[in-house]
């Protein structure tokens, strides 16, 4: 089984503008696809990779220029400083869920297979999707589905979940489909469930909050001319990355100096982002929602 096929692999590696002696970070190691390509381009340089999923450890290469850290990327700066690294020349993040995580039914990431409602990126985490569904109040549940799934009927979804869990606690994928299946639009069921599961996954793993923490730390670590390369897969995380690269903050609010010039920490390399071509999508359909953004620290 293929662990993961990286989207926009060549474009993202080229976007890093790798210097053979530089120091680079891959904060989403996964199957190692990006890391392997970076290592090919290094001579005396170093690559530090992060991944909180224990399963990623099976893909670690033997290479003197490589260091793997089994940590969440929200601890980026502290871990680098602990290993004697105070500045870097580039950072890459592929924010998608790996094929391996989707395809392992027991991880509960997909609505296409009945499995425990888990969804933890870090198997050692204490909160699962089932825990959220069984413990959050109606307002909090509605907020999760509205904020992280952009579901306009989030309140009805939350109400149905509260009613269903009184009869039987949520434990498996089929439980949530049984509870809210009547709210899925005709012929758009898959899109509806994808948004529901996306919302739960983001909430379980604090994905947006941790992404912001990592990006903020990357700015302080990158050398002048260093590249920030991020691949996103949905509008929520893409908006965060786009705003940060454009303005240095997550709200997208432009800061101006005394003379009215916009102050920004980055130069955008590909202003509209890069998306996969038809040929790549034909070979890897899961890449269809990917968007690559590249910025260089000024």
Q: Is 0.75 topped by the overall pTM?
A: yes
Q: Choose the CATH number for 9-99+207-297 among 3.40.50.150, 3.40.50.300, 3.40.605.10, 1.20.1600.10.
A: 3.40.50.150
Q: Is the pLDDT of residue 1 over 50?
A: no
Q: Choose the CATH number for 106-205 among 3.90.480.20, 3.40.50.720, 2.30.40.10, 1.10.150.170.
A: 1.10.150.170
Residue spans per domain, the chain:
9-99+207-297, 106-205
Residue 53 CB contacts under 8 Å (≥ 6 apart), including other chains: 30, 98, 101, 121, 122, 123
Q: Report percent pLDDT > 90 for the chain.
A: 82
Q: Across residues 263-271, what is the average pLDDT?
A: 95
Q: Across residues 228-239, what is the average pLDDT?
A: 97
DSSP assignment of 188-253 equals -HHHHHHHHHHHHHHHHHTHHHHHHHHHHHHHHHEEEEEEEEEEE-SHHHHHHHHHHHHHSSSS-P
Burial (CB < 10 A; 0-12, 13-18, 19+), residue 150, is middle
For position 97, what pLDDT does the model report? Answer: 76
Q: Is the pLDDT of residue 109 over 80?
A: no
- Per DSSP, the three-state class of 109 is coil
């Amino acid at each position: 089984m293929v662990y993961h096929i990286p989207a926009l692999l060549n474009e993202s590696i080229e976007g890093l503008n790798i210097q053979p002696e530089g120091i680079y970070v891959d904060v989403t190691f996964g199957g190692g696809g990006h890391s392997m390509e970076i290592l090919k381009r290094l001579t005396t340089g170093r690559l530090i990779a992060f991944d909180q999923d224990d399963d990623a450890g099976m893909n670690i290469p033997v290479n003197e220029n490589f260091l793997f850290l089994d940590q969440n990327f929200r601890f980026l700066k502290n871990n680098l400083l602990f290993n004697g690294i105070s500045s870097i020349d580039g950072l890459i993040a592929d924010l998608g869920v790996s094929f391996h995580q989707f395809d392992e039914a027991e991880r509960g990431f997909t609505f296409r297979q009945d499995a425990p409602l888990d969804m933890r990126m870090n198997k050692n985490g204490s909160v699962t999707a089932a825990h959220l569904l069984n413990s959050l109040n109606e307002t909090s549940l509605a907020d999760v589905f509205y904020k992280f799934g952009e579901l306009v009927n989030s309140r009805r979804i939350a109400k149905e979940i509260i009613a269903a869990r009184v009869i039987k606690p949520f434990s498996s994928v089929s439980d949530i489909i049984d509870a809210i299946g009547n709210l899925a639009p005709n012929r758009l069921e898959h899109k509806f469930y994808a948004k529901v599961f996306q919302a739960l996954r983001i909430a379980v793993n604090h994905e947006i909050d941790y992404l912001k923490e990592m990006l903020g730390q990357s700015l302080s670590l990158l050398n002048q001319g260093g590249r920030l390369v991020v691949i996103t897969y949905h509008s929520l995380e893409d908006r965060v990355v786009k705003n940060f690269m454009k303005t240095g903050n997550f709200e997208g609010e432009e800061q101006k100096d005394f003379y009215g010039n916009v102050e920004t920490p980055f130069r955008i390399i590909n202003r509209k982002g890069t998306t996969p071509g038809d040929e790549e999508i034909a070979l890897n359909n899961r890449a269809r929602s990917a968007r690559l953004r590249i910025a260089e620290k000024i």
